[in-house]
Copies of this chain bind each other. A is one copy, B any other.
Amino acid sequence: MPVRWEESHAFVASFELTPTGEGPLTGLTFAVKDVIDIAGWTTGCGNPTWAATHPPAVAHAVCVEQLLCAGATCVGKTVTDELAFSLLGQNAFFGTPLNPQAPDRVPGGSSSGSASAVACGLVDFALGTDTGGSVRVPASNCGVWGFRPSHGLISVAGVLPLAPTFDTVGVFASRGEVLLRVAGVLLAAPPEPAGEPNTLLLVKEAFALADSEVQQALAKPVQQLRAHLGSRVRELSLRDLAGDEAGASWSAWYQIYRVLSWAEVKSCLGAWIAATQPPFGPEITASFALVDQLDRCQVAEAIERRERFARQLHRLLGPRDLLCLPTTPTLAPRKGEQISRTRGGYYPRTLAQTSVAGIGRLPQLSLPVGRFAGVPVGLSLLAGPGQDLVLLSLAAQLAEPLLGDG
């Protein structure tokens, strides 16, 4: 789909940073979410007051240096939701990047511009950040590959800290082969032979509680995986994922993520917000108001539960075992649609599912293999911690027949 640069509304700045070396990314172009430093530019983080109160970056973020050194060319900075604190991709100051396959729907956020730039075919790949779903959700919405790495394996130096326990730098690409090469560079990990998974574990509640449009969009790809893998496909419940009854409902997962991420967001941004009183768009204003009301006495219990669930996830996911669930439980919301952070609303439902990777510090890949009435729907695969390249090579292999059908 040929979309012109300015029609995408994906960029806040364009330029050309030439490669500093040759390597596996030679000839590829990329874009960078505007929460990641590019030397000489003020990292704007989607909010004009942030830009006005911070000096320009003096160095590229470490992850950008890696890409330039491996031969890639950086062509611009992309729109982000304000302070990366939204899953929608509608910035009150910088607009809404185009979701080219579903133009009446949001691209998803907070890495909205990076997802859009890749979906519009304007770059080969793009960097985003993913704390609670900010790469995976827009990848699903826009119909591109979106990768969140194992926590801590890709440097976040020169990247806005939002909630450090969950913050990651992730990657969008329209082709699995490109994503594999980019991830190999960023993770400095050796290539993994393609092959077959040991077990594919379908999370029952994730499929059962998704909207029927999502169920329908993913029915055929899941059916194809079942046909291909036979008895290696197993269903398991949320209770199995958590290892105890406390994790048997999605709300338990959401609560862990909500309490910890809000506590960390306040630690990272609260002092600046209190001192500066920046104007925010209405959605972000409401979100920070909620963050401010968090009872921090809940933090200790949330951490205990988080670590208990994480240990169980690590026990569960042996080598070449994959978890599988819909990336999001709903289609991308329509532009301007009312979105809720309260019980049963868009945020709690979506964040519960994206929290599995965050809680387990696991790598997750959203594959653009589903579609409902033309609207893209991502199917996600997760693997054990540090199994990023195994995940990507298995997924590339598994996705081939699914994509051929797309």
Contacts and interface: CB of A to CB of B under 8 A. Distances in A.
A72 to B, nearest CB: 11
Contact of A270 (B58, B155, B297, B307): B58
A59 B263 contact: yes
B55 A275 contact: yes
B188 A69 contact: no
Interface string A352-369: 000000000100000000
Contacts of A156: 164-165
A267 B164 CA distance: 16
Nearest to A314: B386
B65 A274 contact: no
A54 B66 CA distance: 31
Given A65-B300, A155-B264, A157-B163, A307 B189 contact: yes
A66 B299 CA distance: 7
Nearest to A304: B188
A151 interface: yes
A21 interface: yes
Nearest to A306: B188
Interface string A305-337: 011100000000000000000000000000000
B21 A297 contact: yes
Interface in A118-174: 151-152, 155-158, 161, 163-165
Contacts of A187: 307
Given A65-B300, A151-B152, A300-B21, A58 B266 contact: yes
Interface residues of A, number: 51
Interface in A37-93: 37, 54-62, 65-66, 69-70
A188 B271 contact: no
A303 interface: yes
A70 B303 CA distance: 12
A133 to B, nearest CB: 19
A65 B307 contact: no
Q: Which 3 A-B pairs have the closest CB atoms?
A: A55-B275, A158-B267, A157-B264
A352 to B, nearest CB: 21
A272 interface: yes
A204 interface: no
A20 interface: yes
Nearest to A162: B157
A341 interface: no
Given A54-B271, A70-B300, A188-B304, A264 B361 contact: no
Interface in A11-29: 20-21
Given A55-B272, A65-B299, A158-B268, 4 more contacts: A66-B300, A155-B260, A156-B165, A158-B264
Contact of A271 (B56, B264, B271): B56
A33 to B, nearest CB: 15
Contacts of A69: 297, 299-300
Nearest to A295: B20
A265 to B, nearest CB: 8
